[in-house]
Structure 1
Amino acid sequence: MTLVATLIANEADPAITDAVLAEARAVLATEHQPRILHGEVAAEILVAGRPDTAQVLTKRLRRALEGEPIDIAVQVAGPHRRKRLFLADMDSTMIEQECIDELADMVGLKERVSAITERAMRGEIAFEPALRERVALLKGLSVDVIDGLIGEHLSLTAGGRTLVRTMKAHGVYTCLVSGGFSVFTGPIGRTIGFDEDRSNRLGIASGHLTGTVEEPIVGKAAKRDALVELRGRLGLDSVETLAVGDGANDLDMLGEAGLGVAYRAKPAVAAAAHVRVDHGDLTALLYLQGYAASEFVAG
């Protein structure tokens, strides 16, 4: 069986030099020449091996290239490498912020709420009660502030629009699935280009937040269930699915996907995911599927 090792750097800090590729080929003990996906930003190398050796080779490459700003993944090079269903977390994944923390900033409670968010994303406390606790602190906040937050305080993660638009151009169904809120996922999902979005609904009365979140809460189980449901609806095998996230509430979804990617993730999440991306932007997920930069659809 053939495996493929993908090396990815950030376009702002290209690092896939000839020397790096030579070292990688030596570690992999392969005669295959590298395929350059984008200058010194991304490349891949074929190597003979069994699926159960992929993680061993990944660890060897990481040790050999330790200190280099390079993401490394070794996968099976098969017909399902390019996925047909893509699910993505929103906060700290498709956007750079946590929406609930930014809402809390409007009432002077960002530090307090951010601390709870961080513990929940690390898996130190359960997501659902942590969400209810944080939302309760927002009671009375005018919903009018939300449009301003989206327009002035939230920023899309680099490469996200290109990722989604390229996959959609190749017939992939895309879903933004978030433990955040529909007042954000709706407009942000449309801006990025997702086919649909799923998230929690804030209680609203007379134009103000009630401090409640509607049940059932979209948490860890619901994210996984969304992947399973969409996979079944589209008639896909598990191997044909891709998911990305950064927090503990993404773990079940990442584990269920054919390829689960931890993006700039909390340590426990990065350790558990199939692949982790610490240096590249979101176009790393395209390189992982074997797309060259010349195939990208610009966002």
Structure 2
Amino acid sequence: MSHVATLISNPAEPAVDAALLATVTRLLPDAGEAIALKPGVAADIPFNGSGSADIATLTAALREALVGQPVDLFVQKADGRRKRLLLADMDSTMIGQECIDELAAELGLKEQIAAITERAMRGEIEFEPALRERVGALKGLPVVTIERVIAQRITLTPGGRTLIQTMKANGARCALVSGGFTHFTNAIANMIGFDENHANTLETDGEMLSGTVQEPILGQDAKRSHLHRLTRELGLGAQETMAVGDGANDLAMICDAGLGVAYHAKPAVAAQAAARIDHGDLTALLYLQGYGEADFCMA
């Protein structure tokens, strides 16, 4: 079979049942038997597809048939699914929060700062000046506060550690690239198991944040640059790479990766990414690559 349609639901709310699989199978040309990647949660349906335009039309028809169902769908060629490089955003992707908003909460400024963050992530305002403005509001916050915020306010996104450990066990390199801050990425990368991490550096004045960020700011272009750098260093083809994120500053790497995934993303990002995960957790990125639950590394 030349192509495969993958259906994914949230492991906490399994929705890929026999009736849904039958509905999708009927719409696929020359479809084979569904292959359970995790019963009730994810499945592949192989089929024989044709041109990219036809695949786009087919994908639209399948999504129309799934309206109202808490299920994600992606159609791709069967060959070359497994990736050897993953670049992942941190805030609202590998973790459930926006770190700068949680720091602002320590000063009673969360609502004000979160509003700016939301506009920047939607692409309504430029990322770099928005970051400088938000960091400026943090001036005077004790640096030791960051450790407490990580411990008390930050939660890992379900499936994230399994995603990274499974890909690494299968020879992939995993990089955390964030428009946030190294104080957070160093800790989060260690918790999850990333091979490397890159982010912005908060400047300090003694034991307090100075309200400034080290230039140049790591934004959309820098994330894309890290993707291309690692692709070259590892001697990979573009099709062997994957990038995942949720905000406008992730779009460049998402669009340049062999498989770009919008994860519970802002509308503008979801509209432009090749794949979108609106319901599943981060193990969805493993199902997209054809991994089944039996292949997962849980350590």
Matching of residues 41-120 of structure 1 within 5 Å: 41-52=41-52, 53-78=54-79, 80-120=80-120
Indicate the SS of the match to 2:100.
Answer: helix
Q: 1:3 to 1:31 in 2, by over 3 A?
A: closer
Task: Give yes or no for the alignment of 1:3 onto 2:9.
Answer: no
The CA distance in 2 between the partners of 1:124 and 1:291, in whole Å, is 36
Superposed structure 1 runs of 4+ greater than 3 Å apart: none
Tell me the equivalent position of 1:142: 142
The range that moved more, 27-36 or 247-256, is 27-36
Tell me the equivalent position of 2:245: 245
Which amino acid letter does the alignment assign opposite residue 257 of structure 1? A
The CA distance in 2 between the partners of 1:202 and 1:181, in whole Å, is 7
The CA distance in 2 between the partners of 1:51 and 1:84, in whole Å, is 26
Which amino acid letter does the alignment assign opposite residue 71 of structure 1? D
| TM-score when normalising by structure 2 | 0.98
Tell me the equivalent position of 1:288: 288
The CA distance in 1 between the partners of 2:15 and 2:30, in whole Å, is 21
Task: Give yes or no for the alignment of 1:151 onto 2:151.
Answer: yes
Q: 1:257 to 1:174 in 2, by over 3 A?
A: same
8 Å contact kept, 1:178–1:185: yes
Q: 1:226 to 1:51 in 2, by over 3 A?
A: farther
The CA distance in 2 between the partners of 1:37 and 1:260, in whole Å, is 21
8 Å contact kept, 1:3–1:51: no
Tell me the equivalent position of 1:18: 18
Structure 1 residue runs of 5 or longer lacking an equivalent are none
The CA distance in 1 between the partners of 2:55 and 2:267, in whole Å, is 21
The CA distance in 2 between the partners of 1:198 and 1:238, in whole Å, is 21
Matching of residues 207-286 of structure 1 within 5 Å: 207-286=207-286
Tell me the equivalent position of 1:168: 168
Report the CA distance between 1:247 and its aligned residue: 0.1
Which amino acid letter does the alignment assign opposite residue 72 of structure 2? D
Report the CA distance between 1:117 and its aligned residue: 0.2
8 Å contact kept, 1:2–1:47: yes
Report the CA distance between 1:47 and its aligned residue: 1.4
The CA distance in 2 between the partners of 1:253 and 1:16, in whole Å, is 30
Indicate the SS of the match to 2:268.
Answer: helix
Report the CA distance between 1:54 and its aligned residue: 2.6
Report the CA distance between 1:261 and its aligned residue: 0.3
TM-superposition CA deviations, 1:121-145 (whole Å, max 9, x none): 0000000000000000000100111
Tell me the equivalent position of 2:186: 186
Report the CA distance between 1:207 and its aligned residue: 1.1
TM-superposition CA deviations, 1:90-135 (whole Å, max 9, x none): 0000000000000000111111100000000000000000000000
Report the CA distance between 1:51 and its aligned residue: 4.9
Report the CA distance between 1:49 and its aligned residue: 1.4
Percentage of matched positions with identical amino acids: 58
Report the CA distance between 1:253 and its aligned residue: 0.4
Which amino acid letter does the alignment assign opposite residue 65 of structure 1? L
The CA distance in 2 between the partners of 1:4 and 1:131, in whole Å, is 41
| TM-score when normalising by structure 1 | 0.98
Which amino acid letter does the alignment assign opposite residue 54 of structure 1? I
Structure 2 residue runs of 5 or longer lacking an equivalent are none
TM-superposition CA deviations, 1:201-250 (whole Å, max 9, x none): 00112111000000111000000000000000000000000010000000
Q: 1:51 to 1:294 in 2, by over 3 A?
A: farther
Indicate the SS of the match to 2:184.
Answer: helix
8 Å contact kept, 2:31–2:45: no
The CA distance in 1 between the partners of 2:48 and 2:29, in whole Å, is 9
The CA distance in 2 between the partners of 1:97 and 1:124, in whole Å, is 20
